[in-house]
Amino acid sequence: MIQSGKSDKIKVLVVDDSAVVRQVLQAALSQDPALEVIGAAADPLFAMERMKRQWPDVIVLDVEMPRMDGITFLGQLMREHPTPVIICSTLTEKGAATTLQALAAGAVHVITKPTVGIRDFLLDSANDLIAAVKTAARANMSNLRRSSPPVHQVQAAAVPASAEAMLRTTERIVAMGTSTGGTQALETVLTALPRVCAPIAIVQHMPAMFTAAFAERLNGLCQIEVREAKDGDRLLPGLALIAPGGKHLKLVRQGAQYYAEVFDGPLVNRHRPSVDVLFRSASQVVGRNGIGIIMTGMGGDGARGLKLMRDAGATTMAQDEASCVVFGMPKEAIKLDAADRVGGFPEIVELIRQA
């Protein structure tokens, strides 16, 4: 029989085939008195036995394990007992594709770990891990249970924007920012857009190595073209550019044309890329012709930048609480009166279509 326990602490279960990782994660999480590590398992089968006795509030899960991989386990969880899951994945190109499958299947957040120096890395990242667990515990799992958008929104194959459309110039630019829960949110919005729409620049909080795979996945689902932004890319109708992990993205203007500038720089709001960096640049170079949209995510990155966009005359929107996985970033934007409208996915899609 599953016991929920009477403790107010957030109960965490660690599932990883590495004994070192299990030990370090337990030590790191136990530093915070608000968390209680109720156990650690070497693979999902051991985890399921442990969960029969006490169900966790959050699971920290590896993806590559013996007997049952993390993706299969995650899918089973989401079908039978939706539970917030944080993926703890090795930072490799192969791992990036697998981790994106996990996010699509309902994982809340990703913590990357290197192939060497894991102990020191995880100990140094303890604060970020603790914050991720606390955020995951508050996640609205009902908004993460679907693994893909409705069928009618997805084409069997991506249809590239016409050459004529790509040659046209528009002064309407959409800037979007999102974090926790954003991979599914962006998939829902972008797959609903027609192949010709206003240019879109996106910051999704995501580690390096993952954004290219994420953009490639979306490009295969969407009618519009989606790719990872490169320095000097021109923003064109029917094109969405996603900021590379570990790099900032801002907009620059040359005459009537807009370009992406991808660059290194210090963390902004503890993030790189930062939504505020993108929104701030949009307020400066796009002004009232801009559309700023802030979506699901923890923290307040993007709120001040969205306010700058609104003050510059741009149309601004915050995702509503009902459709967010984590109503953090939109909530902070609303507090600052940065959004002139609040809505869910249909309203966000319609706003972009009208542009």
Query: pLDDT (tens digit, 9 = 90+) per residue, 69-121?
Result: 888 899 899 999 999 999 987 755 566 777 788 888 889 988 877 766 777 77
According to the model, what pLDDT value does residue 11 have? 97
According to the model, what pLDDT value does residue 7 have? 65
Please check whether residue 265 is in contact with residue 297, taking contact to mean a CB–CB distance below 8 angstroms: no
According to the model, what pLDDT value does residue 93 have? 59
Options 32, 62, 276, 301, the catalytic residue: 301
Q: Give the pLDDT mean for 240-260.
A: 96
**Cα(280)–Cα(109) distance, rounded to whole angstroms?**
26
- Whether 109 is catalytic is no
Q: Which residues contact 118 (CB under 8 A, 6 or more apart)?
A: 18, 20, 21, 24
**Cα(324)–Cα(139) distance, rounded to whole angstroms?**
9
The 8-class DSSP code of residue 125 comes to: T
Closest-CA residue to 64 (of 17, 105, 119, 19)? 17
Closest-CA residue to 202 (of 159, 250, 237, 167)? 250
To which residue do tokens 């509030």 refer? 57
Chain centre to alpha carbon of residue 274: 12
The 8-class DSSP code of residue 33 comes to: T
According to the model, what pLDDT value does residue 234 have? 97
Chain centre to alpha carbon of residue 22: 25
Options 16, 109, 205, 233, the catalytic residue: 205
Options 57, 62, 89, 179, the catalytic residue: 179
Hey, what are 258's tokens?
């807009």
Closest-CA residue to 138 (of 100, 103, 181, 101)? 181
| Residue 261, Cβ density class (10 Å: 0-12 exposed, 13-18 middle, ≥19 buried) | middle
Per-residue pLDDT of 110-137, as tens digits, reads 887 776 677 777 777 888 899 999 999 9
Gap between the terminal Cα atoms of the chain: 54
Mapped onto helix, strand or coil, the DSSP state of residue 70 is helix
Per-residue pLDDT of 5-62, as tens digits, reads 456 899 999 999 989 889 989 999 999 999 999 999 999 999 999 999 999 999 999 8
Q: Give the pLDDT mean for 312-316.
A: 97
Please check whether residue 262 is in contact with residue 230, taking contact to mean a CB–CB distance below 8 angstroms: yes
- Whether 148 is catalytic is no
Per-residue pLDDT of 165-213, as tens digits, reads 434 444 799 999 999 999 999 999 999 999 999 999 999 999 888 899 9
According to the model, what pLDDT value does residue 38 have? 96
Range with lowest mean pLDDT among 32-36, 252-256, 313-317: 252-256
Higher pLDDT, 218 or 90: 218
AA letter at 39 = G
Please check whether residue 294 is in contact with residue 196, taking contact to mean a CB–CB distance below 8 angstroms: no
Closest-CA residue to 323 (of 87, 111, 144, 62)? 144
Q: What is the pTM of this model?
A: 0.85
* Model confidence at 259: pLDDT above 70: yes
To which residue do tokens 């923290």 refer? 299
- Whether 179 is catalytic is yes
What does the mean pLDDT of the chain come to? Answer: 88
Closest-CA residue to 10 (of 142, 130, 111, 177)? 130
